[in-house]
């Protein structure tokens, strides 16, 4: 069956609690888009126009429902002073955290139009908005304060400091929150919807107690700020989230993108309060045969598409960069077939 709505219309109905023609399909296609566009990865994450053109090429190739502006979770920390290496064929790698050379007081809140690679995001959004913004949602992935705080520090030391020096960690988090708010403001002005990503806050990394003390208050403050613009906000936490499922609605997020958690359990726990996004295993997407992917995706969508507040068929984390294209096509085709609401 052919689509009745365009992607922007489909997402718009979801966020006003109306059923669209079919469920939205938004696998987290980020840097994989560089492979579709035959673009060197280093060029993808250092040139906004190239990033946008690669994302548009991926939409044209696969027919999913949103553009994803993202490179990696260190982008705000880099603009605040952390140093990264730029491999030609891999994503940026943290080399020297800002707080190994500066005090917290010396860390400055970056100017999104000038500092680090933040302008690359804005260039990518501007290009994509002019090209397809009237018909396709543009999601801009914003590292949350906890993840940025870890990228400003030696990651292991940062985790130790949550126990030994909690006040220091909260001082870092305050700076990271201010930076995320300032960046989000410019992203909204450029025409994108901020999607908060906090992978280093998952239960694969920290305990629920640490989440409640150091993650939840800052995610909530960031999301509360974004709600001033009457936006429905996506929160993505990859890794394990089962131990914090009951806490997630307290963030205030309108849509929750999940990774390593039983989908039925997540629906039972969250679907009356949040729209569910997820959560196909990305290792399976990369390694399984297309027929196997198709069968598994249809099962996932059938299980989740009637979630109370709505559902988006997606991967649990970023699509691996070198995932075979036929596997992604199988994901999207089968999700479309299984995701119809209108007869």
SS (H, E, C) 243-285: HHCCCHHHHCCCEEECCECCHHHHHHHHCCCCEEEEEECHHHH
Q: What is the mean pLDDT of the chain?
A: 96
Give the distance, in angstroms, between the CA of residue 31 and the centroid of all CA atoms in the same chain.
12
* Domain ranges, ordered by start, for the chain: 7-338
Please, which residues bridge with residue 326 across strands? Answer: none
Architecture of the CATH domain 7-338 = Alpha-Beta Barrel (3.20)
pLDDT reported for residue 343: 64
pLDDT reported for residue 2: 81
pTM for this prediction: 0.95
- The predicted model gives 137-141 an average pLDDT of 98
| Residue 342 banded pLDDT, cuts 50, 70, 90 | confident
pLDDT per residue over 264-297, tens digit each? 999 999 999 999 998 999 999 999 999 999 999 9
pLDDT per residue over 169-217, tens digit each? 999 999 999 999 999 999 999 999 999 999 999 999 999 999 999 999 9
**Following CA atoms 247, 253, 259, 263 in sequence, which dihedral angle do they give, to the nearest 10 degrees?**
70
Q: State yes or no: pLDDT of 58 exceeds 70.
A: yes
pLDDT per residue over 60-71, tens digit each? 999 999 999 999
Contact 22, 310 (CB under 8 A): no
């Amino acid at each position: 069956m052919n689509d009745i709505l365009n992607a922007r219309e489909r997402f718009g109905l979801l966020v006003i609690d109306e059923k669209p023609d079919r469920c939205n399909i938004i696998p987290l296609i980020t840097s994989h888009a560089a492979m579709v566009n035959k673009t060197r990865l280093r060029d993808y994450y250092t040139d906004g126009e190239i990033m946008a053109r690669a994302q548009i090429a991926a939409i044209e190739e696969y027919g999913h429902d949103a553009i994803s502006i993202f490179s990696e979770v260190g982008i705000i920390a880099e603009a605040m002073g952390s140093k990264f290496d730029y491999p030609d064929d891999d994503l940026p790698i943290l080399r020297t955290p800002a707080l190994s050379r500066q005090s917290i007081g010396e860390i400055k809140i970056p100017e999104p139009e000038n500092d680090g690679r933040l302008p690359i995001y804005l260039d990518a959004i501007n290009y994509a908005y002019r090209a397809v913004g009237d018909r396709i949602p543009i999601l801009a992935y914003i590292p949350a304060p906890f993840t940025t705080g870890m990228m400003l520090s030696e990651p292991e030391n940062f985790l130790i400091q949550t126990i030994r020096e909690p006040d220091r960690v909260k001082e870092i988090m305050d700076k990271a929150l201010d930076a995320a708010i300032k960046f989000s403001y410019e992203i909204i002005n450029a025409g994108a919807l901020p999607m908060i990503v906090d992978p280093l806050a998952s239960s694969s990394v920290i305990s629920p107690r640490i989440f409640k003390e150091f993650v939840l208050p800052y995610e909530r403050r960031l999301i509360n700020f974004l709600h001033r613009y009457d936006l429905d906000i996506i929160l993505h936490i990859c890794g394990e989230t089962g131990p914090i499922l009951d806490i997630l609605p307290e963030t205030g997020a309108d849509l929750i993108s999940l990774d390593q958690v039983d989908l039925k359990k997540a629906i039972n726990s969250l679907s009356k309060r949040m729209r569910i996004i997820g959560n196909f295993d990305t290792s399976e997407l990369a390694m399984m045969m297309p027929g196997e992917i198709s069968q598994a995706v249809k099962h996932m969508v059938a299980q989740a598409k009637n979630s109370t507040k709505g559902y988006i068929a997606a991967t649990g984390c970023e699509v691996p960069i070198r995932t075979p294209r036929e596997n992604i096509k199988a994901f999207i085709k089968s999700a479309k077939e299984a995701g119809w609401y209108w007869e």
